[in-house]
Amino acid sequence: MIRIFAITALQLLCLFALSQTPATMTYQAVLRDNAGNQLVNQTVTIEFAIRENDPNGTIVFEEYHNLIPTNQFGLISTMIGSGVITGNGTYATLTNIPWGLHTYFLEVRAVFPGEGSPQLIGVSQLVTVPYAYFASQAERVIFEADGDTTNEVIEDFSLNGSVLTITENELEYSVDLSTISGSDNDNATDNEIITALNLNDQMQLDISEGANTTTVDLSNVAYNTWNRNSEGIYNINDQVGVGTSAPNSTLDVGGSMGWSVTTLVGEDYDLNNSASNASTVIFLCDVTTQDVNIQLISAANCPGRIYKFRKLFTGGSTTNNVNIIAPVGESIEMASSYQMSNSLAEYVTIVSNGSNWFLIEHSKD
C-alpha cells in the first residue's frame, strides 16, 4: 500500500508567472510504504483525475505519467497537464477547463511495478483557481488579429437598467434588453438554460429558453458603416478600397480587376430571362453559323451599367450580324436596336443612363 507523507509545500504547487499562461501544474509528494519507509530510487506510475464539484464528481480531466522515479528521499516531481491523456475526461487540456464556473478536486492514484491495479493516494480540493488560467481565457477574448489596437470598432459599452449602449467610432447605439429579462419562477439564477440561438440575415437575434423565444434587433449595432435593405448591402458615405488602405475614389482597386465574360453562339438571348447573363459585362458573340440576337434589360433598372460586345467568327469575313435590341419604350442611340453588321470584327460598348442605352465605344476592322 502506498500513501503520501507530509502534505506541506510539497503537496501541490500552482506557482505561475503572470507574464505567461502555463498549461501545467507542478505536483510533488513523498511516497512511503505502510511501515513508514520512504520508497527511494524506485519508479511509479501516477494517475491524475480532476473531478467537478465533488470528490466523486464527473471527471473533467484525466492523464497518467508512466514510470516516474523517486529520489533518495522518496520524492516524486511531475507536471500535471503534461502526461498521457486517458480519454476519460471531458477536456483534453487543463486550459480548456472552465475554472471559474465550478469547484474542482484533484484525485491522485499510484501504481508500482508488480503492485497490480492503481491505489488511491488521496483527493484534495483545488481551493485557489490559478490566475494564469483566467489569463488564458482573456487572451482568447482580446486576440488582436492585425496587431493594431487603434482600429477596433467597439470603443465602449455600458448597461443602464435594461438598455445596453455600445459606442462605435464615437457613435452610440442602444439596444433595449428588457424584452429578454423575463421572469424567474424559482428565483434561482444558476438554472437558466438557453436552448437555441439564431441570427438571421436581417440581424435579428432569436434566443430560445425552453419553449419561450425572444427576438432582439441588432441591426443598429451591426450596420455601423454598411447598411442593408431589400436591394442589397450599401455604403453611401465612405470611399472603398480594395488592395489599398488609402482609396482616392468611391471605389479604388489597387490591383487587377476581373469582369465576367460570356460567349453567345448564334441564336437568340434574352437577358431578362437569365440573371447571370444580365450581370455579365463582356459578351463574345460568335456569328460563325448565324446571327446573335440579344434582348437588353430595361435601362431604367440599371443606370450606369456597361455592356461590351465583341463580334467574332471563324474565317476571313461573315455576312451574319449581332443585333442588340432595346426594351419596348427605350432606345439604343435613338433607335429600337443596334446592328453590328461589319463583315469583319467589330467592338461596341453601351451604357445605361437610367432611361435609354448609348454607345460610348465603337470600333471595327
Per-residue pLDDT of the chain (365 residues; tens, 9 = 90+): 554 443 333 344 443 333 344 578 888 888 887 777 888 888 889 999 999 999 999 999 999 998 889 898 888 889 999 999 999 999 998 888 888 788 999 999 888 777 778 888 888 888 754 444 544 444 444 444 455 555 555 667 787 877 778 777 677 777 777 665 555 555 555 556 777 888 887 778 888 877 788 888 877 666 567 777 777 888 888 888 898 988 899 889 989 989 999 999 989 999 999 999 999 999 999 999 999 999 999 999 999 999 999 999 999 999 999 999 999 999 999 999 999 999 999 999 999 999 999 999 999 88
> H/E/C letters for each residue in the chain?
CCEEECCCCCCEECCCCCCCCCCCEEEEEEEECCCCCECCCCEEEEEEEEEECCCCCCEEEEEEEEEEECCCCCEEEEEECCCEECCCCCCCCHHHCCCCCCCEEEEEEEECCCCCCCEEEEEEEECCCCHHHHHHHHHHHCCCCCCCCCCCCEEEEEEECCEEEEEECCEEEEEECHHHCCCCCCCCCCCCCCCEEEECCCCEEEEEECCEEEEEECHHHHCCCCEEECCEEECCCCCEEECCCCCCCCEEECCCCCCCEEEEECCEEEHHHCHHHHCCCEEEEECCCCCEEEECCCHHHCCCCEEEEEEECCCCCCCCCEEEECCCCCCECCECEEEECCCCCEEEEEEECCCCEEEEEEEEC
Question: Is 3.40.50 the CATH number for 3-136?
Answer: no
Report the predicted TM-score, pTM, of the whole model to 2 decimal places: 0.42
Domain ranges of the chain: 3-136, 154-182+191-222, 261-364
Pick the CATH number of 261-364 from 2.40.50, 2.60.120, 1.10.287, 3.30.70: 2.60.120
